[in-house]
């Protein structure tokens, strides 16, 4: 098939990982992919770095009034549509695959003009998310734009069932929803070093290593882990490795200094994706202390791929992948000290860590949580949409 892939993502973080892996997997299956995106398709040497973000976007957002920035986002749809339309004329695709972003209407406009099926990947309810975390000046416009794109797509691909229910609540029929979670590139993790070698490379050969990957924010709850590290419940050889960077880093480093943890807590800073496996390989306990209720955290799939004992909150989106006692230990996020209790339990039970790690390692294959598997699902959907009667496709009047 020929797939026109469109996104508006400039970040070089987990979002970019998803984009690059889906494009690469579609091509690996023998399909042609034309990418339309800000600045074009990133060359291989510019692949995402863990814990990275795009500074110019954040600076622009900070300097402009919110309503001006939001209107610019909406206006970008016209520019993106012109690029998409030109690419469609040249490439003659069989389908459009678009990564949803707030105020982005370009894929829907092209679908309406050409009749090409539109598959819409949705990673978050961005109108709600922006209003809660960053603020929206034009919430009614944002919700209209979100609703019209979700309803107008021929198939919406949320990353969790929880998110799918949120999309359905906006008027998208269940038959036009299919959950496609994040995945893993097994080849990328196949050459990871042994845990012993990974620890030795860090200078922590005899340590019990707790680890976290990604762009760390205040709400991730890593301060709780650092405070636990300073209690008698944490073994003397416990070490905490945070792989990446983020806005919470300075406060977490200050907290570690205040608690006199010294070299027991370490940030790698921004690193390339290629370096992630050798760091995660060192983990004895992999951490997901908190997560928003609809997300499919990329770090969980990395932990599973390297067969790590995982600690995560017990909530529906996490339980779509993790099962308490089988491939993770899950805690009640509303219960005080529940996370800390599980950390102490795992720290003192190597047999439990091994059993959970074995269960984690089997999960990828059991649930087919790979980018190649996701690409196969997308292609099958695109083919079925090409063959479907026009009356069954997305609501052109949404």
- Contact between residue 300 and residue 214 where contact means Cβ atoms under 8 Å apart: no
Report pTM.
0.90
pLDDT in tens, 44-80: 444 555 554 555 566 777 788 999 999 999 999 999 9
pLDDT in tens, 255-272: 999 999 999 999 999 998
pLDDT surpasses 90 at 395: no
Measured distance CA(182)–CA(194) in Å, rounded = 25
User: Can you give the pLDDT at residue 398?
Assistant: 44
pLDDT surpasses 50 at 397: no
Measured distance CA(306)–CA(391) in Å, rounded = 45
User: Can you give the pLDDT at residue 12?
Assistant: 65
User: Can you give the pLDDT at residue 54?
Assistant: 52
- Share of residues in the chain with pLDDT > 70 (%): 92
Q: For the beta carbon of residue 1, count every other beta carbon within 10 angstroms.
A: 16
User: Can you give the pLDDT at residue 94?
Assistant: 97
User: Can you give the pLDDT at residue 292?
Assistant: 94
Instruction: Kindly indicate the confidence band of residue 210, based on its pLDDT and cuts at 50, 70 and 90.
Output: very high
Instruction: Kindly indicate the confidence band of residue 393, based on its pLDDT and cuts at 50, 70 and 90.
Output: low
pLDDT in tens, 299-320: 999 999 999 999 999 999 999 9
- Share of residues in the chain with pLDDT > 90 (%): 85
User: Can you give the pLDDT at residue 389?
Assistant: 67
User: Can you give the pLDDT at residue 388?
Assistant: 76
> What is the rounded radius of gyration, in angstroms, for the C-alpha atoms of the chain?
22
Instruction: Kindly indicate the confidence band of residue 134, based on its pLDDT and cuts at 50, 70 and 90.
Output: confident
- Contact between residue 136 and residue 116 where contact means Cβ atoms under 8 Å apart: no
Using alpha carbons, list the distances in angstroms from residue 168 to 17, 154, 164, 307: 27, 13, 6, 34
Tokens of 292: 């928003």
User: Can you give the pLDDT at residue 206?
Assistant: 95
User: Can you give the pLDDT at residue 140?
Assistant: 96
User: Can you give the pLDDT at residue 201?
Assistant: 96
pLDDT surpasses 70 at 197: yes
User: Can you give the pLDDT at residue 260?
Assistant: 97
Domains of the chain: 2-183+370-392 (3.40.50.2000), 186-367 (3.40.50.2000)
pLDDT surpasses 90 at 89: yes
Q: Average the pLDDT over each of 3-12, 29-38, 335-344 and give the range with the smallest value.
A: 3-12
3-state helix vs strand vs coil in the chain, percent to 5: 50, 15, 35
Q: Average the pLDDT over each of 134-138, 148-152, 171-175, 354-358 and give the range with the smallest value.
A: 134-138
User: Can you give the pLDDT at residue 60?
Assistant: 73
> What is the torsion angle, in degrees rounded to the nearest 10, for the CA atoms of residue 109, residue 138, residue 16 and residue 94?
-10
Give the mean pLDDT of the chain.
Answer: 92
Q: For the beta carbon of residue 232, count every other beta carbon within 10 angstroms.
A: 7
Mention every residue, 6+ apart, whose C-beta is less than 8 A from residue 133. none
User: Can you give the pLDDT at residue 80?
Assistant: 96
User: Can you give the pLDDT at residue 56?
Assistant: 58
Measured distance CA(272)–CA(279) in Å, rounded = 11
């Amino acid at each position: 098939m020929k797939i026109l892939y469109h996104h508006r993502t400039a970040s070089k973080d987990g979002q970019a990982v998803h984009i690059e892996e889906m494009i690469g997997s579609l091509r690996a299956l023998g399909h042609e992919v034309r990418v339309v995106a800000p600045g074009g398709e990133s060359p291989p040497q510019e692949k995402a770095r863990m814990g990275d973000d795009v500074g110019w976007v954040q600076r622009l957002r900070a300097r402009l009034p919110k309503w001006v920035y939001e209107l610019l986002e909406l206006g970008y749809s016209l520019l993106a549509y012109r690029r998409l339309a030109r690419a469609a004329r040249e490439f003659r695709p069989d389908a459009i695959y678009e990564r949803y972003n707030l105020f982005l209407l370009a894929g829907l406009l092209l679908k309406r003009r050409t009749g090409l099926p539109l598959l819409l990947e949705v990673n978050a309810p961005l109108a709600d998310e922006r209003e809660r975390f960053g603020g929206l000046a034009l919430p009614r416009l944002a919700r209209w734009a979100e609703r019209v794109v979700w309803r107008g797509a021929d198939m919406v691909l949320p990353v969790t069932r929880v998110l799918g229910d949120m999309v359905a609540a906006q008027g998208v029929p269940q038959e036009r929803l299919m959950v496609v979670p994040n995945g893993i590139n097994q080849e990328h993790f196949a050459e990871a070093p042994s845990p012993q070698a990974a620890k030795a490379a860090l200078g922590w050969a005899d340590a019990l290593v707790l680890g976290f990957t990604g762009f760390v924010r205040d709400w991730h709850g890593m301060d709780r882990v650092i405070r636990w590290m300073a209690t008698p419940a944490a073994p003397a050889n416990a070490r905490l490795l945070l792989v990446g960077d983020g806005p919470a880093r300075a406060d977490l480093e200050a907290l570690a200094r205040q608690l006199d943890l010294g070299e027991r807590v370490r940030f790698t800073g921004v690193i390339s994706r290629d370096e992630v496996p050798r760091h995660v390989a060192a983990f004895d306990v992999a951490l997901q202390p908190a997560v928003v209720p609809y997300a499919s955290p990329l770090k969980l799939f990395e932990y599973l791929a390297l067969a790590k004992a995982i600690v995560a909150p017990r909530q529906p989106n996490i339980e779509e992948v993790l099962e308490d006692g089988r491939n993770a230990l899950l805690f009640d996020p509303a219960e005080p000290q529940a996370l800390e209790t599980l950390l102490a339990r795992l720290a003192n039970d190597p047999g439990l860590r091994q059993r959970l790690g074995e269960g984690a390692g089997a999960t990828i294959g059991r649930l087919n949580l790979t980018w190649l598997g996701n690409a196969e699902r997308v292609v099958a959907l695109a083919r079925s949409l090409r063959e479907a009667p026009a009356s069954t496709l997305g609501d052109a009047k949404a």
